[in-house]
Structure 1
């Protein structure tokens, strides 16, 4: 009798304002289904003022964290949320299963799942896309960026979470949010791990933080670069980990095999 297939290890790279606790609903569901889940806490979301960490700090942490898993022979699937797409793209190059196998090494990142996340080429910052779509006038309306560079969303209940859970649940979710280094949005990535690791994308059609048009543009860019992209579509806002947990879990199950 063949041995049962072992589930891959999941690493969630969280978004701006979020911390690992923000994903407890998703993590609990995944762990109940037998997945091992890791969420490294990005230094740019450490609530320090003035900020003392940025995209480079986040990249270094995630790369070191995932390297420790793959060196132990683990097969890792990375779920990248929002800004986490920038971090994961920048951090995970060279750690793919194929790249490591070519060096005679076991383990590696088998898949990147961009969850309404920035999936862009090298040299691109998040704000570059905002400029491309002509939406820079909306930045001060959506973001409260202080003189020290730390950033909050002005209306997270509507713009980040969106419709779904009741107000009490949303309030509890938002209590996990912290100030984030807004400078990260202006920092370009140096690497694009999606060029060498299989990719999926979870669309969120009601998203007011990373609009659906942006998301489709990301996928179009990946496909023009020759990458095949498996897509999933959820009718929800920017935090499907919280508002459409079952849909996210189903996408992971369809990918993480």
Structure 2
């Protein structure tokens, strides 16, 4: 039985380079890993809605499904909004009903936003911009204090990863979600208890929102910052392998 293919989706301001370590570890365990930079990130012509990001996600997932593979999608942070909208209809159960093989067996959210339909990231923040990022004159959101992502990394590592951050379209943060794939695809959630970017209380509220909305979600807690794939890569890889169906 082939292992599920894995799709890693970077969060706001981030690119797939952030997943370099866990990608190598997953590949060493026999997984094929897919990841792509979203249109919102580092784009001089920033999109104003989620459609371009959704299109990229769906392309990557279709690539992973191929001739009928099972797929595990792992969104981080903001990209949970994209996954909630973009994976509608791509679940294995939904594809089987259409006579199609393979599909997404599970979404494994890493301290990610999971929101109802019609809710934007800005809505989830109650309309208030955190003080560690701002919007520039080009309509791009820019991080001014990257330490919020990496509170459990050494200073040299924080500096290294801060240099990898890009601009992120503010328009997509105001854009309303267009779907709730978490109602049809089972979810796992890695709840990061030391997260300074999305406090654990906010993560807990989103998990409860999934349950209240009729979704299925299993929670694993970890003492980690907002970037567990950097500070706790082995624990994250183990969690992803379990989410993919391995008995560890």
Same structural fold, with TM-score higher than 0.5 when normalized by the shorter chain: yes
Q: Which residue of 2 aligns with 1:191?
A: 179
Q: What's the offset of the Cα at 1:47?
A: 4.1
Q: What's the offset of the Cα at 1:69?
A: 2.9
**Counterpart pick for 1:170 among 117, 133, 158:** 158
Q: Which residue of 1 aligns with 2:219?
A: 231
SS in 2 for 1:26: helix
SS in 2 for 1:141: coil
Q: What's the offset of the Cα at 1:68?
A: 3.3
Q: Which residue of 2 aligns with 1:75?
A: 70
Cα contact 1:90–1:193 (8 A) shared by 2: yes
Q: Which residue of 1 aligns with 2:112?
A: 117
For these two proteins, the number of residue pairs brought into alignment is: 245
Q: Which residue of 2 aligns with 1:105?
A: 100
- Taking structure 1 as the reference length, what is the TM-score of the superposition? 0.90
Distance, in Å, in 1 between the alignment partners of 2:12 and 2:225 is: 15
- Taking structure 2 as the reference length, what is the TM-score of the superposition? 0.93
SS in 1 for 2:125: helix
Q: Which residue of 2 aligns with 1:143?
A: 133
Q: Which residue of 1 aligns with 2:27?
A: 31
Q: What's the offset of the Cα at 1:168?
A: 2.0
Per-residue CA deviations over 1:208-230 (Å, capped at 9, x if unaligned) read 11111110011101111222211
Distance, in Å, in 2 between the alignment partners of 1:90 and 1:111 is: 15
> Which of the pair is proportionally richer in helix?
1
Q: Which residue of 1 aligns with 2:15?
A: 19
Unpaired segments of 5 or more residues in structure 1?
A: none
Distance, in Å, in 1 between the alignment partners of 2:227 and 2:193 is: 11
Distance, in Å, in 2 between the alignment partners of 1:32 and 1:53 is: 38
RMSD over aligned CA atoms reads: 1.5
**Counterpart pick for 1:206 among 173, 178, 194:** 194
The 3 A distance-change label for structure 1 pair 216 and 140 is closer
Unpaired segments of 5 or more residues in structure 2?
A: none
Cα contact 2:76–2:111 (8 A) shared by 1: yes
Q: Which runs of 4+ in 1 moved over 4 A?
A: none
Q: Which residue of 2 aligns with 1:251?
A: 239
Cα contact 1:62–1:88 (8 A) shared by 2: yes
Distance, in Å, in 2 between the alignment partners of 1:173 and 1:246 is: 19
Distance, in Å, in 1 between the alignment partners of 2:192 and 2:158 is: 18
